[in-house]
Amino acid sequence: MEIIKTGMFTIAGRPNVGKSTLINALVGEKIAIVSDKPQTTRTRILGVVNRGDTQFVFADTPGFHKPRSRLGDYMMKVVRESVADVDAVILAVEPTDRVGTPEELLLERIRESGLPAVLAINKIDTVKKTDLLKVIEAYRKAYSFAAVVPISARTGDGLEELLEELRSFTADGPQLFPDGMTSDQPEKQIVAEIVREKLLLCLDREVPHGTAVEVTRFSERETGIIDLEVTIYCEKASHKGIIIGKNGAMLRTVGTMAREEIEKFMGTKVFLETWVKVKENWRDSQAQIRNFGYEA
Ligand SMILES: Nc1nc2c(ncn2[C@@H]2O[C@H](COP(=O)(O)OP(=O)(O)OP(=O)(O)O)[C@@H](O)[C@H]2O)c(=O)[nH]1
């Protein structure tokens, strides 16, 4: 069907509320990495969903938090900018009946922007219906939302209802992204993010949060096989040892898990070579941050 309507939406919410899971579930493909550790998402990621005559474009944003380093400053900037230029804001919240400080701050910003806000109460697979009513009531009292939709990004519950609510904020306009394009993320970046996700999964919190991943080689053979070389940068020599692990065991595990997922994503066989390098304090250096694709 020809696309004649488009809408841009931002998904705001505290760290770990499930923004990346939601954007992946809406798009139907993994474009953002997910982990149980907060502050996983570093850059703005766009996800594209076509339904009938409408194209929905979603922007995932880094979790709302207090900056502690330059990378933190940059993430806050992305959050601030992401509420501009959109048709409506989706505020994703945990299914708890107390409006927390991060939510109050986000609502403050949404109010200032004058944009309509749709409340998406996520993770409803973890609460009873009666408790959900209390959550709805607490949020209805706190803000006048254009709509309130209980969802589970994990099971897919409520997602079509969410799209239906968002349809009223779309406007007549040309298709923004071509058919088949589900994200503005270049493949290289998605590959790097998959590796970072596996680091987050396999290592204790402190180590992966100080890492950046760069795809240093990406070439395709005539047979379709893809050769990848990925360099993992960490902040300390001691972290390098942890990432590599005893006899390289940790790096092998991370590499295997990443490769399997990259193969699924690319739809072809992949050879993955991984390197670990120390780059001290990269998080505090503007130039380095830009170098890793987090445009400041
Ligand atoms: N039970 C349940 N868990 C969920 C749901 N959605 C997300 N999660 C889990 O919540 C955790 C955080 O999910 P993410 O999607 O990474 O959260 P985020 O808001 O993008 O996090 P940041 O990148 O830190 O801002 C993961 O462990 C998810 O599996 C849901 O609907 N139900």
Task: Provide the pLDDT confidence category of residue 141 given band limits of 50, 70 and 90.
Answer: very high
The pLDDT of 98-113, averaged and rounded, is: 89
**How many distinct structural domains can be found in the chain?**
2
In angstroms, the CA 123 to CA 135 distance is: 12
Strand segments (E) across the chain: 5-12, 45-51, 54-60, 88-93, 117-121, 147-150, 171-172, 212-220, 226-234, 270-278
Atom of ligand 1 nearest to the CA of 37: 24
Q: Is 14 annotated as a binding residue?
A: yes
Tokens standing for residue 131 = 């408790």
Lowest mean pLDDT among 104-108, 131-135, 153-157: 104-108
The pLDDT of 124-152, averaged and rounded, is: 96
Buried b (16+ CB within 10 A) or exposed e, 64-99: beeeeebbeebbeebbeebbeebbbbbbbbbbeeeb
More confident residue, 5 or 31: 5
Does residue 182 lie within any of the structural domains? no
Atom of ligand 1 nearest to the CA of 63: 25
Does residue 181 lie within any of the structural domains? no
176-231 pLDDT per residue, tens: 766 666 665 667 777 888 899 899 899 887 787 788 888 888 777 778 788 899 99
Residues 150 and 221 in one domain: no
The per-residue pLDDT for 296 is 39
Q: Give the rounded percent of residues in the chain with a pLDDT score beyond 70.
A: 77
Residues 266 and 124 in one domain: no
Structural domain that includes position 118: 5-172
Does residue 142 lie within any of the structural domains? yes
CB 58 within 8 A of CB 47: yes
Q: Is 123 annotated as a binding residue?
A: yes
Residues 54 and 195 in one domain: no
In angstroms, the CA 34 to CA 193 distance is: 10
User: What residue has token string 């070389």?
Assistant: 229
The pLDDT of 74-80, averaged and rounded, is: 50
Residues 31 and 126 in one domain: yes
Strand segments (E) across 241-281: 270-278
In angstroms, the CA 268 to CA 245 distance is: 28
Rounded to two decimals, what is the model's pTM? 0.65
43 ligand 1 Cβ < 6 A? no
Residues 159 and 227 in one domain: no
CATH number at residue 258: 3.30.300.20
Answer with the one of 113, 148, 172 that is the final residue of a domain: 172
CATH number at residue 69: 3.40.50.300
In angstroms, the CA 195 to CA 270 distance is: 13
